[in-house]
Amino acid sequence: MSPIQTTPRPLVMLTVFFLTVGLWQTGEGSWMYAKARLAQMLLQRAWSRTLTGERLVKPWPWADTYPVAKLTVPSLQIDLIVLNGAYGRTLAFGPGYSESSAFPGSPGTTILTGHRDTHFYFLKRLKRQDEILIETDQRTSQRYLVQSSKVVDARTASIRLMEGEDQLVLVTCYPFDSILTGGPLRYLVTAIRVLSALPRSSDTPVGRESGARGELTPPT
């Protein structure tokens, strides 16, 4: 008998099996992150077309949603395109605007939802008084200041539609770094709209509803 033992066939197969599964799963997992990134790139292009006056621009031919606003957080270098509709199939690509809340940039409560592990991971790092800018397709920009953040149980909590207060509510899953998905907790960040113009562009006219006009200097 040869002292050299060939690896038993089942073992080879098992190894191949695990190898395949491993590559497949890591591929799948990475793809989700890649998709979230790639989509935002395409969305940026769709957004610039939206700003030129095109309506309901599809970021890719088979898309069933379109960009509605641009969300920037200068202090964290966050620059995201917000999609219409907060459904599973849109959230993979970007934060979604909940259609029944106030339209981004308009008076009332606007609700934006995003994935905690991709686009809205930054919510964790938002601090009180941080500035959030919402640019709309009307080329106007609204400025919001973070007021509070809290963790709620989605089974019991509800968001108050504040009357007469213009605010932005950002929603994501909680806790941020949990491996498991589908938990009941949600992390809400509330930001209140401020009417003052940007600190640096004091020359821009201040409108009651429209806020600062168009040419927002992007964070450098």
Partner 1 sequence: MTTLHEAAQRNAKPTRPVLLLTLLMVILLWVGSLPVALACGDPPSNESDLAERGMRLKDVTQGSLLFKTHETGRFTPAPLLKTDVKISISGVIARTTVAQEFVNPSRRKNAWAEGLYVFPLPETAAVDHLRMKVGERTIIGEIRERAEAKRTYEQAKQDGKRASLVEQERPNVFTVSVANIAPLDRIIIEIEYQETVRYDQQVYSLRFPMVVGPRYIPGTPVIIEGETQGSGWAANTDRVPDASRMTPPVQHPGLGPVNPVTLTIDLAAGFPLGKIASPYHDILTIADQDGRRHITLRQDRVPANRDFQLTWQPAGGPSPSAIAYLQQQSENSYGFLMVAPPASNESVSTPPREAIFVIDTSGSMAGTSIEQAKAALVLALGRLTSQDRFNVIQFNSATHLLFSEPQPVRTDTLGKAVRYVEQLHADGGTEILPALKMALKGSPPPSHLRQVIFLTDGQVGNEDELFAVIRTELGTSRLFTIGIGSAPNSHFMRKAAEFGRGTFTHIGSTSEVKAQMDAMFRRVERPVLTDIHIQGFEATAELFPSRIPDLYDGEPVVLAFKTSTIPSSITLTGTFNARTWTQTVDVAGASPRDGLSVYWARQKIASLMDQKRSERNDGSLRQSVLDVALAHHLVSPYTSLVAIDTEPIRPNDASLMTHAIKTDLPEGQDYQAIFGLPRTATNGPWHLLIGLIALAVAFWLWRPRDRFA
> What's the one-letter identity of residue 172?
T
Q: Is position 194 an interface residue for partner 1 (rule: CB under 8 A)?
A: no
Q: Is position 25 an interface residue for partner 1 (rule: CB under 8 A)?
A: yes
Q: Which residues pair with 58 in a beta bridge?
A: none
Site for partner 1 in 60-89 (CB under 8 A): 64-65, 84-89
Site for partner 1 in 137-176 (CB under 8 A): 152, 154-161, 163, 171-173
- Counting Cα atoms < 13 Å in the Cβ hemisphere of 160 gives 6
Q: Among residues 117, 195, 213, 219, which is the contact residue for partner 1, using CB under 8 A?
A: 117
* Backbone φ and ψ of 33, nearest 5°: -70, -40
Of 38 and 206, which has the nearer Cβ to partner 1?
A: 38
Q: Is position 115 an interface residue for partner 1 (rule: CB under 8 A)?
A: yes
| Smallest separation (angstroms) from partner 1 to the CB of 24 | 7
| Smallest separation (angstroms) from partner 1 to the CB of 79 | 20
DSSP for 47-69, please give it: HHHHHTT-SS--SSTT-S--EEE
Please provide the distance, in angstroms rounded to a whole number, between the alpha carbons at the two ends of the chain. Answer: 73
| Smallest separation (angstroms) from partner 1 to the CB of 109 | 7
| Smallest separation (angstroms) from partner 1 to the CB of 166 | 14
The beta-carbon contacts of 23-32 under 8 Å, at least 24 apart in sequence, are 32/92, 32/118
